[in-house]
């Protein structure tokens, strides 16, 4: 019984310390350092528990319009590309392409995915990220439009353009999340982005299949995906240039260094 009481008291003390630090942290974020908050001068980033820092940072991220803009853009991008990827071979078969030729054309997507991951990664390090992502989406939209207008003759171009988009999409989710938002909230921000991507990837093949069953052709689905890809290209291209973000914990005043 004595040991149980000691453990319970220790837990209560630790919980109270965390609450006190969280209150000081919230005051630092909301009102800055004032005369009545002299205790903050003794605080450092390590004084704020990591869960509190992450929650506070992600709360600020969710208030950022750029977060919701990227979330919606990645959702739409996934919807446009994963549905085409799933239906690519059936789409070619509906255009009277032989099964062996359809499989050969679909293999181009795989090669383009490999090349895209290298190329997109290199370009993201040297060019404004929004322009790189916008260019990838624009290429995919153009390839889809060529397939609509030119038919099977442009299927290799459409396959390569689709592979470029699929290969760079997952990498771009992590890259944009890290570049536009504080790293203290990276895990939760990325999980939201990736969840939107997965939900769209599950919905898109179903809806495209329903469109084909209703209309007997993939033309409407191709037009829809091309339009969505063009919208994503515009959304990425008009993103502001990312600026270095700092964790809100860094807003807590640090103790002045004493000269020796």
**Is the residue at 156 inside a domain?**
yes
**Is the residue at 206 inside a domain?**
yes
**Is the residue at 20 inside a domain?**
no
Cα–Cα distance for residue pair 227/235, rounded to 1 Å = 12
Q: Which residues contact 118 (CB under 8 A, 6 or more apart)?
A: none
The predicted-structure confidence for 55-71, as pLDDT tens digits, reads as follows 568 888 888 899 999 99
Backbone dihedral region for residue 38 (phi beyond 0: left; psi -120 to 50: alpha; all else: beta): alpha
Q: From the CA atom positions of the chain, what is the Rg in Å?
A: 25
**Is the residue at 142 inside a domain?**
yes
**Is the residue at 8 inside a domain?**
no
Question: DSSP secondary-structure letter at 53?
Answer: H
Q: Residue ranges of the chain with pLDDT lower than 70?
A: 1-56, 243-260
**Is the residue at 54 inside a domain?**
no
Number of domains in the chain: 1
CB 184 within 8 A of CB 57: yes
Q: Is the pTM of this model over 0.95?
A: no
CATH of the domain at 209: 1.20.1250.20
The predicted-structure confidence for 202-236, as pLDDT tens digits, reads as follows 999 999 999 999 998 999 999 999 999 999 999 99
**Is the residue at 134 inside a domain?**
yes
Taking the CB of residue 168, how many other CB atoms lie within 10 A of it?
A: 28
Domain limits for position 125: 64-237
- Per this entry, what is the length of the chain? 260
**Is the residue at 247 inside a domain?**
no
């Amino acid at each position: 019984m004595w040991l149980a009481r000691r453990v319970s008291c220790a837990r209560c003390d630790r919980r109270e310390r965390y609450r006190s630090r969280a209150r000081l942290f919230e005051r630092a974020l909301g009102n800055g350092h004032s005369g009545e908050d002299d205790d903050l001068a003794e605080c450092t980033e390590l004084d704020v528990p990591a869960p509190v820092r992450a929650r506070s940072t992600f709360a600020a991220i969710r208030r950022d319009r750029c977060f919701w803009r990227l979330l919606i853009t990645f959702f739409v991008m996934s919807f446009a590309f994963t549905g085409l990827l799933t239906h690519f071979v059936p789409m070619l078969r509906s255009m009277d392409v032989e099964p062996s030729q359809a499989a050969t054309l679909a293999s181009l997507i795989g090669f383009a995915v490999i090349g895209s991951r290298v190329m997109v990664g290199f370009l993201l390090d040297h060019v404004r990220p929004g322009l790189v992502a916008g260019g990838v989406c624009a290429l995919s939209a153009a390839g889809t439009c060529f397939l609509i207008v030119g038919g099977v003759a442009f299927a290799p171009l459409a396959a390569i353009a689709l592979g470029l988009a699929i290969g760079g999409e997952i990498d771009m989710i992590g890259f944009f999340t890290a570049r536009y938002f504080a790293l203290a909230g990276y895990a939760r921000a990325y999980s939201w982005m990736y969840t939107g991507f997965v939900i769209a990837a599950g919905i898109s093949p179903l809806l495209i299949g329903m469109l084909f069953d209703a209309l007997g052709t993939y033309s409407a689905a191709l037009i829809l995906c091309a339009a969505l890809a063009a919208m994503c290209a515009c959304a990425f291209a008009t993103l502001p240039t990312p600026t270095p973000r700092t964790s809100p914990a860094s807003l807590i005043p640090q103790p002045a260094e004493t000269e020796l």
